[in-house]
Amino acid sequence: MQIDRAKLLQIKEVVEEINRHKWLQSEMVGYDVGFDKAASDWFDKHATAWVGYHGTKCCKDTKKPCKK
């Protein structure tokens, strides 16, 4: 499954998840990893599960899952 990252980044809850992931990653390495690196890591590791759990709720404007 391929995730549409641009669509997911428009969702407030996804940005909050990425910021939480950024904080955790930064704590582990001892410095701020930055949003872009954290987002890339979150998409690689967690986006598929997030979309699977939230399903059609994740793209309110289209009522379709955030998949290409």
Alpha helices in 1-68 (DSSP H): 5-8, 12-29, 35-45, 47-54
CA–CA separation, 27 and 12 (whole Å): 23
Asked if residue 39 belongs to a domain, the reply is: yes
Mean pLDDT of the chain: 85
In a domain, 65, yes or no: no
Range of 31's domain? Answer: 5-55
- Check if the beta carbon of residue 52 is closer than 8 Å to that of residue 37: no
Whether 46 is in a domain gets the answer: yes
Q: Which of 63, 9, 1 is nearest to 36 (CA)?
A: 9
CA 45 to chain centre: 9
Residue 27 falls inside a structural domain: yes
- 11 against 63, higher pLDDT: 11
Domain count, the chain: 1
Q: Please indicate, yes or no, if residue 62 is contained in any of the structural domains.
A: no
Asked if residue 67 belongs to a domain, the reply is no
Encode pLDDT of 14-45 as tens digits: 999 999 999 999 999 999 999 999 999 999 99
